[in-house]
Amino acid sequence: MSNKGSSGDTSEAGKLSLTQHPLRTAILGEVHARPFAPLATPKRVLHFGFLTDESRAKDARRNLEAFCAEHGTATPQPSDKHFRIAFGTTSLRWEQHSEFTTYTWEISADDNDPPFTPAATGLLSKLQQLPPPGSLLVAIDLHLLPQQEPAIAIERYFDRPSLAIAENADGKATYATDFRVDSEGFVRILVLDRGLDRERAGALVQRLLEVETYRTLALLALPEAQRLSPQIARIERRLAEVTNEMRKANDLANNHHLLDELTDLAADLEAGAAASVYRFGATRAYDEIMRQRLQTIGERKTPGISTWTSFLARRMAPAMRTCATTESRQAALSLKLSRAADLLRTRVNVELEKQNQDLLKSMNDRTRMQLRLQTTVEGLSVAAITYYVVSLFGYLAKALHEAHLVVYDPAYMTAAFIPIAAFAIWWTVRRIRKHHITHDD
């Protein structure tokens, strides 16, 4: 009885009354993001990917909301990153990512239609299209058909040297592509169903679309790496030359010039690295996602033809290595420039300290000379002032003698006054100098 009452209390309590973290709902919902949509065979899927910055992404969302309102369907919530709407026999799946937005049109097809018939552009003309939110990067024409007897000759629809064919893990589907753009601007993917249920068909199609999408996005860094390679090579050569010149530069002016040049080289390198750091990081992430999708599919090899995994590993590995090498060269070169600049800066500081020592020594010599000159001038000044004081005293002595106020000869009185005046003036000058020295200290 007690167990029954306990369960009843729980049902009455409803939701947890505990304070939840504000991000709990978003975190728990992330594992359910972008679920696989069931697909019934046959189906024609047209998938588009557009590069979108923040402004264009907002425009894409507004256009989708207007499209939904026009067709009388629900509109996506502001937090939604994916949305699916169906109208008639056609459905649209919209997804928004950090730097691109995808539109996937799912169109009913006929079992008897040959692969990629009718033409993809003809299907697009019948659809009410959304305005493109940015520059087109991905365009895929995927045709999901049942396996027929006699078997469809896959090779006739693709370029044989670039053809990649594989089966999924349980062998219930075969999929093929040549990763080339056809005359209508699409990369074709053909999927032959040999017993897939709707859920597995939807999962396989979505993973194949993601493989091609992320493959294309991963290669965006290759032109950037090719653009930066000549600049990096130029900086590497100049760094070697500057390092060699450092061994010969002994004066401060040359060291300053070399330090300025190293600073300019470092600025050029860091500008390129700052512009490419996001692109190289995104490429690593896209390449990893593509590999994970292929691993999840669990490819089985078709005799005589490469699987998607082996084909992409062989064709994309050089591009990925080029990007990784360019990024590592940037990092290594930045470290070398920093070390060379530190060495030059140390040399410049040592030269400056040496110059400062020489300057202080020269200032000490000049101060000593000034002191000697000052002592000489003081002696001359004492003599000059004594001369003037004694002259004045002589006039006074003559006046007093002529006035019969003193009986001594003025000449004797003046002569007697000379040592007294000289000593008094010397003592006064010395007293003033000591006062100044004490005040400065």
pLDDT tens track for 118-162: 888 888 776 667 888 999 999 999 999 998 777 778 888 999 989
Which residues face 43 on adjacent strands?
108, 144
Q: Which pLDDT score, from 0 to 100, does residue 440 have?
A: 61
Q: How far from 389 is each of 1, 54, 208, 414, CA to CA, in Å?
A: 130, 93, 114, 10
Stretch 156-180: mean pLDDT, rounded?
Answer: 92
Residues pairing with 192 in the sheet? 145, 174
pLDDT at 441: 59
Q: Which residues contact 337 (CB under 8 A, 6 or more apart)?
A: 235, 239, 262, 265, 266, 269
Q: pTM for the whole thing?
A: 0.74
Q: What is the mean pLDDT of residues 2-9?
A: 44
Q: Are strands 187-193 and 135-146 parallel, antiparallel or unpaired?
A: parallel
Q: What is the pLDDT of residue 15?
A: 61
Q: What is the pLDDT of residue 404?
A: 76
pLDDT of residue 4: 43
| Mean pLDDT value across residues 55-59 | 92
Q: CB burial class (10 A; 0-12, 13-18, 19+) of residue 293?
A: buried
Q: How many CB atoms lie within 10 A of CB 422?
A: 17
Pairing of strands 135-146, 43-51: antiparallel
Helix (H) or strand (E) segment spanning residue 75: none
pLDDT at 17: 67
Q: Are 191 and 204 in contact (CB under 8 A)?
A: yes
User: What is the model's pLDDT at position 139?
Assistant: 95
> H or E element: which one contains 62?
helix 54-70
Kindly give the pairing relationship between strand 164-167 and strand 135-146.
unpaired
Taking a C-beta distance cutoff of 8 angstroms, is the pair 83, 94 a contact?
yes
Q: Per-residue pLDDT tens for 202-259?
A: 999 999 999 999 999 999 999 999 999 999 999 999 998 888 888 777 777 787 888 8
Question: What whole-number distance in Å separates Cα of residue 374 and Cα of residue 367?
Answer: 10
Residue pair 429/378 in contact by the 8 Å Cβ criterion? yes
Taking CA atoms, 126 is separated from 78, 120, 190, 238, in Å, by: 29, 10, 22, 59
Choose among 76, 35, 81, 33: nearest CA to 57. Answer: 81
Q: Which helix (H) or strand (E) holds 301?
A: strand 300-301
Confidence of residue 11 (pLDDT cuts 50, 70, 90): very low
CA dihedral sign of residues 428, 432, 433, 438:
positive
Helices and strands, counts by H and E, the chain: 9, 9
**Pick from 328, 347, 327, 349: which is nearest to 242 by CA?**
347
The average pLDDT across 191-198 equals 92
**Window from 176-180, 285-289, 326-330, 346-350 with minimum mean pLDDT:** 346-350
The pLDDT confidence band at residue 6, using thresholds 50, 70 and 90, is very low
Q: DSSP strand E in 52-89: where?
A: 82-87
pLDDT confidence tier of residue 70, bands split at 50, 70 and 90 = confident
Rounded mean pLDDT of the chain?
85
Ramachandran bin of 128, using left for φ above 0, alpha for ψ from -120 to 50, beta for the remaining angles: beta
Q: Taking Cα atoms as reference points, which of 189, 207, 213, 212 lies closest to residue 43? A: 189
Tell me: the pLDDT tens digits for 395-419?
Answer: 888 888 788 777 778 887 888 888 8
Q: How far apart are CA 295 and CA 338, in angstroms?
A: 42
Give, in degrees to the nearest 5, the angle at Cα 297 between 292 and 298: 95
Average pLDDT over residues 162-167: 93
Cα 322 to Cα 214: distance, rounded to the nearest angstrom = 18
Q: Are 438 and 410 in contact (CB under 8 A)?
A: no
Q: Is the pLDDT of residue 176 over 90?
A: yes
Q: What is the maximum span of the chain, computed from C-alpha positions, in angstroms? A: 160
Cross-strand bridge partners of residue 138: 49
Alpha carbon separation from 420 to 361, 415, 426 (Å, rounded)? 41, 10, 10
- Percent of the chain beyond pLDDT 70? 92
